[in-house]
């Protein structure tokens, strides 16, 4: 089994730069993989970032980061 780094180094980035496959840290010790980034329109300033914890199975439903839509310029901790 591969070790999972629960405490990766992070950098604050605008949420609008996130893409599927990026790893974000929701809170200390809770890294999550971005599975979908959704906006109603490309010009929309709000977005929903759907994530799955690194230990979740693919059969479990993803959840929305911060439990709501966020502004594209909001800072999010992304693993580097």
Name the one residue in this structure whose structure tokens are 């929903």: 48
**Which residues neighbour 51 within 8 Å (Cβ) at sequence distance 6 or greater?**
24, 26, 32, 33, 34, 35, 62, 63, 64, 65
Q: In order of start, what are the domains of the chain with their CATH numbers?
A: 14-79 (2.30.30.30)
User: Are 50 and 62 within 8 A, CB to CB?
Assistant: yes
Per residue in 11-59, pLDDT tens? 999 999 999 999 999 888 899 999 999 987 878 899 999 999 988 988 9
Whether 76 shows a pLDDT value over 60: the answer reads: yes
């Amino acid at each position: 089994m591969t070790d999972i780094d629960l405490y990766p180094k992070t950098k604050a980035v605008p949420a609008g730069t996130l893409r599927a496959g990026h790893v974000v840290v929701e809170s200390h010790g809770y890294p999550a993989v971005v599975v979908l980034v959704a906006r109603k329109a490309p010009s929309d300033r709000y977005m929903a970032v759907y994530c799955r914890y690194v230990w979740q199975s693919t059969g479990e439903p993803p959840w929305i980061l911060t439990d709501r839509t966020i502004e594209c310029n909001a800072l999010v901790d992304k693993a580097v």
